[in-house]
């Protein structure tokens, strides 16, 4: 913990290796939270007090410093007061309803009826979105912060802008500048384990009383709860059952945005989306989310009980948090961080289970597209163009033509490779994939910008789905959905430097053909996090060989900014004696598989095992602990031992 504290304090990158079972998670929590509370206190009480030096006289600088301290302290104490009141109310509620059915007087938990916006449609909604020609011309390639809000109504955009901090009070500005810890692990289940550990700790206070600073009469709170927020995707947090039941992340994201479009009637929009007239509800959600340490399921339940979307409402709580927890994909992808309103700049990033980090980066930025998907996307685009050819003008016509050329080029390349090679896997190049007629005149980065600005992939899929439903009463091939979206993701990797990854042609046993891009160098895709964050901590049970990180992932760092630590197990090597016991004193072979449980002589194993344990216990002299995989392993299938038996369980 001391090494962790020092590494964070000095703003370095630390690699920590500690075997499983040594209390690694608890050490990360205690060390980082202690530093954070100390840092918050030192920033507030330090000589500068967050005041920029200037030409003003000392007395004015001191007065401004005192006012800043007063505002920050008052904001913190008010927040702690609100959270304390929420905890008191929650404790009373749990006690009151512990043995009762939930009261009908609670905040609504029912799902308001959500009409299907596809019931009434018009060809106009299938046309490409209006594009910002400057964005397309510049070819940014990826949308900036808030781009997924373009389809939202003006009222919704205004409120989300407020939640993301565009219109902030002095107290909110102070909170947004405070350093926080961003904790990341592979899965939500691992994050839940981390949350359970987090509930056990009580770090030192970061709040000093106002009167201690000469700012008036006040007293520090008796308890300063750890302010934690677990972030997730729409798939994890959506409480609209007609959206969440769609299953795939892409489908849920698209449907969510569809329900928020300005042209959608009010009665068809998602009723849980934050609105201007329920800002008090958003503030209440923020206080409830921070009042205790909750995991992702708790956060979803809070949103459901309050009737507000936890995915959007949780953004109001980000600035007040001390610890954010999120899974790998939401941290590693810059577009995902921007969509959530999360910045790593000047914050502490801790990545648990980091022995999987390079594989996770590789998986995140690798992708594939099958020949069937390319052909499906081509046919869907052609159907779309045939319908709207007279209404597609200017850049819409130009970029859709380029898209068709690119689709044909890649499909022709895959067919050619398949006919010219007998191997089921071969290396190909981006040049081979882009060798089609007229493709050399295409600038992929501009095409990607157009596809993202126009939302063409979604428009094409919606139109094809609409025509199929109208003609056949439903889609016969749901696996064809999203083909153009998959292809759009594949276009992006065509621009990657050849030194970062490789393209592969593959053919499976059923003859299915696909092009696959595998990222080989994850360094550049993690570099922005390292350069923006105050400190980066990688922790895992098996981080060796450390040279993989020093020579590859962090090869650009100066040696004095990278530190590596390896800790042994809490139990010394000389205290461990490991041996396997295959038979008991009577010669009965121990085979505890399910198939052997009822066979002879396994019906004799309880007495034989008890005799073995008795002999071991007499020699150890300090007792014996038998961790059974399941309780039934302490009870035989026939003639269970008596209460006095060594194998009896309470």
Domains of the chain: 47-106+142-352 (no CATH), 367-519 (1.10.275), 579-634 (no CATH)
pLDDT of 610: 80
pLDDT of 229: 94
pLDDT of 168: 42
pLDDT of 570: 74
Q: Which CA distances in Å does 401 have to 397, 406, 443?
A: 6, 9, 13
pLDDT of 184: 94
pLDDT of 510: 86
pLDDT of 607: 75
Neighbouring residues of 97: CB distance < 8 A, sequence distance ≥ 6: 103
Distance CA 189, CA 186 (A): 9
pLDDT of 505: 95
User: Are the CB atoms for 66 and 36 separated by under 8 Å?
Assistant: no
pLDDT of 316: 87
DSSP tag of 534? S
pLDDT of 196: 92
Q: pTM for the whole thing?
A: 0.73
pLDDT of 412: 95
Q: Which CA distances in Å does 352 have to 197, 238, 564?
A: 14, 26, 15
Distance CA 86, CA 637 (A): 51
Distance CA 241, CA 300 (A): 12
pLDDT of 56: 66
Q: How many residues are present in the chain?
A: 650
All residue ranges of the chain with pLDDT < 50 are 48-49, 99, 101-120, 141-156, 165-175, 210-218, 475-476, 633-634, 636-650
């Amino acid at each position: 913990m001391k090494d962790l504290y020092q590494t964070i304090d000095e703003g370095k990158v630390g690699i920590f290796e500690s075997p499983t079972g040594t209390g690694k998670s608890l050490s990360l929590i205690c060390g980082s939270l202690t530093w954070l509370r100390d840092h918050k206190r030192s920033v507030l009480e330090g000589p500068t007090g967050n005041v920029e030096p200037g030409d003003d006289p000392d007395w004015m600088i001191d007065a401004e410093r005192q006012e800043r301290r007063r505002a920050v302290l008052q904001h913190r104490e008010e927040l702690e007061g609100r959270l304390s009141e929420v905890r008191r109310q929650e404790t009373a509620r749990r006690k009151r309803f512990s043995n009762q059915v939930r009261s009908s007087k609670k905040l609504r938990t029912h799902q308001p009826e959500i009409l299907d916006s596809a019931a009434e449609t018009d060809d106009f909604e299938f046309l490409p979105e209006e594009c910002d020609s400057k964005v397309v011309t510049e070819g940014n390639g990826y949308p900036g912060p808030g781009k997924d809000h373009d389809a939202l109504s003006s009222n919704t955009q205004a409120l989300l802008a407020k939640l993301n901090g565009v219109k902030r009070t002095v107290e909110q500005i102070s909170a947004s500048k405070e350093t926080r810890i961003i904790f990341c692990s592979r899965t939500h289940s691992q994050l839940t384990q981390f949350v359970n550990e987090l509930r056990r700790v009580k770090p030192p206070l970061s709040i000093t009383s106002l009167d201690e600073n000469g700012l008036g009469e006040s007293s520090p709170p008796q308890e300063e709860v750890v302010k934690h927020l677990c972030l997730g995707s729409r798939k994890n947090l959506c409480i609209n059952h007609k959206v969440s039941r769609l299953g795939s992340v892409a489908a849920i994201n698209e449907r969510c945005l569809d329900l928020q479009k300005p042209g959608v009637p009010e009665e068809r929009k998602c009723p849980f989306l934050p609105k201007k007239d329920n800002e008090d509800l958003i503030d209440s959600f923020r206080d409830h989310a921070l009042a205790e340490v909750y995991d992702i399921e708790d956060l979803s339940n809070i949103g459901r009980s309050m009737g507000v979307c936890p995915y959007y409402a949780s953004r109001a709580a980000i600035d007040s948090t001390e610890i954010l927890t999120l899974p790998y994909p939401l941290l590693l992808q810059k577009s995902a961080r921007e969509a959530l309103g999360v910045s790593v700049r000047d914050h502490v990033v801790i990545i648990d289970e980091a022995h999987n980090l390079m594989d996770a980066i590789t998986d995140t930025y690798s992708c594939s597209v099958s020949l069937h998907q390319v052909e499906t996307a081509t046919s869907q685009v052609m159907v779309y163009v045939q319908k709207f050819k007279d209404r597609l003008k200017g850049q819409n016509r130009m970029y859709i033509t380029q898209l068709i050329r690119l689709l044909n080029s890649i499909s022709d390349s895959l067919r050619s490779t398949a006919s010219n090679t007998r191997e089921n896997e071969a290396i190909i190049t981006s040049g081979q994939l882009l060798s089609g007629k007229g493709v050399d005149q295409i600038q992929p980065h501009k095409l990607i910008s157009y596809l993202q600005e126009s939302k063409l992939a979604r428009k094409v899929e919606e139109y094809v789905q609409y025509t199929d439903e109208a003609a056949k009463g439903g889609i016969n091939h749901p696996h064809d959905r999203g083909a153009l979206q998959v292809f759009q993701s594949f276009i992006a990797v065509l621009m990657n430097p050849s030194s970062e990854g490789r393209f592969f042609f593959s053919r499976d046993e059923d003859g299915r053909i696909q092009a696959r891009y595998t990222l080989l160098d994850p360094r550049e895709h993690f570099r922005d996090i390292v350069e923006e964050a105050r400190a980066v901590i990688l922790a895992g049970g098996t981080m060796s060989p450390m040279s993989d990180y020093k020579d590859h992932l962090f090869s650009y760092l100066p040696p004095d900014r990278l530190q590596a630590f390896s800790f042994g197990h809490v139990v010394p090597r000389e205290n461990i004696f490991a041996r396997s016991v295959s038979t008991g004193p009577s010669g009965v072979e121990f085979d505890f598989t399910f198939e052997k449980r009822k066979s002879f002589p396994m019906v004799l194993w309880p007495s034989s095992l008890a005799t073995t344990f008795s002999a071991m216990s007499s020699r150890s002299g300090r007792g014996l602990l038998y961790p059974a995989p399941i309780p039934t392993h302490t009870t035989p299938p026939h003639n269970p031992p008596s209460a006095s038996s060594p194998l009896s369980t309470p």
